[in-house]
Amino acid sequence: MRCRPHVTLHKKYANGVFGANSPCGSFAPVGVTLYQLIKRIRFEQVTIHVAGIHIVPPVLLAPMAGITDLPFRKLVARFGAGLVVSEMIASQEMVQARRGTREKAELDGGAGLSAVQLAGRDPYWIAEAARMAEAMGARLIDINMGCPAKKVVGGLSGSALMREPDHALRLIEAVVGAVSVPVTLKTRLGWDANSLNAAVLAHRAQQAGVRMVTVHGRTRCQFYKGRADWSAIAPVVRMLDVPVVANGDVVTPRDARTALAQSGAAGVMIGRGAQGRPWQPALVAAALYGTPAPVVPRGAALADLVMAHHAGMLEFYGRDLGQRVARKHLGWYMDHAATPPALRREVLTAPDPATVHRLLPLALAERERFAA
């Protein structure tokens, strides 16, 4: 059997797939048929291995503050994202049960493979929050060292920790020592163009027990300006043995292919590209890896989906808060549907859920074609 040029396996997987005399490996698994070999290759191509957890497909939903709540994560997971991550949660506030904080980490069986992302500066609080998240059912604990928001950075958390790698390592060690589930890390390239230290920090994190690293291809000082530099993630990939995921400006299958080619990453993480398009991670995965393509809802089917999402948010938050929180999601759905401005405004200012649901079929039927 010959290696197909476009089939690339990580070195640690190839040896167990091909025979000793094959250019692709070093020992022959006895009794393995060609069909089994192809299945195994396919599995490795569409899987990120994080300790004993398999992320399939390697297209992940990014944590987004105020967005990746349980109703949205369930919806994205249902379409077929490999992993969904909670919005960033302040560790001390979670442990002290500040109102509305623990709800950000809420999980259930419908949310697929889920991670809870924690932020903080104190090793005690972040370790306690990690224990709590694990007890709530989180399959992975992600540590935020990439958030650029002034409020977070002002508290010397998020991407501010990239300026203090020794303290960052103390936080990582505290979390790894507190839980039995895999711990992952999310960073930026560095604080600014003069301190691109993601590779060094990630390598130290790996030595401390982190099992996967996601890198947003911008510095903190760039915020979300310009374009993410996926090629700048490549040094992190070369430095690590654990999987690296590329993040930043990945929206379409073309974006994902380019990000993977330039970075060498094991997968991609989609954030803003999923706003108003919860099927987008699954759509990207289908194009890249041949996983089942999602049925993109249109017309009445789209209206049904959005109404169900809206109803789920009302149930999760309560009627009044749910109405307010849902507006941004409704706005994104209507942006992609090119809803006329007057009708869009009417939906977003509707006084009650019944009016919203009465207007949505008309608002979302205005344009049947969605951007993929």
Annotated binding residues, written as ranges, equal 63-65, 117, 186, 216, 271-272
For the four alpha carbons of 152, 157, 159 and 160, in that order, the dihedral sign comes to positive
Q: Which of 227, 274, 228, 278 lies closest to 251, judged by CA? A: 274
Annotated binding site for FMN: 63-65, 117, 186, 216, 271-272
User: Do 35 and 199 contact (CB within 8 A), yes or no?
Assistant: no
Please report, as a single letter, which amino acid is at residue 151: K
User: Do 310 and 357 contact (CB within 8 A), yes or no?
Assistant: yes
Print burial letters for 84-110: b (CB count within 10 Å at least 16), e (below 16): bbbbbbbbbbbbeeeeebbebbbbeee
Half-sphere exposure of 60 (CA within 13 A, CB side): 34
Helices assigned H by DSSP within 318-351: 319-337, 341-348
Please give the Cα distance from 337 to 331 (Å, whole number).
10
Is 24 a catalytic site residue? no
- Contact residues for 7 (Cβ-Cβ < 8 A; gap 6+): 41, 45
Please give the Cα distance from 357 to 331 (Å, whole number).
14
Paired sense of beta strands 48-50 and 53-55, if any: antiparallel
User: Do 50 and 184 contact (CB within 8 A), yes or no?
Assistant: yes
Q: Which of 57, 100, 94 lies closest to 76, judged by CA? A: 57
Please give the Cα distance from 185 to 85 (Å, whole number).
12
What are the residues facing 60 on neighbouring strands?
A: 83, 269
Q: Which of 234, 285, 233 lies closest to 60, judged by CA? A: 285
Helix (H, G, I), strand (E, B) or coil at 286: helix
Please list the active-site residues.
147
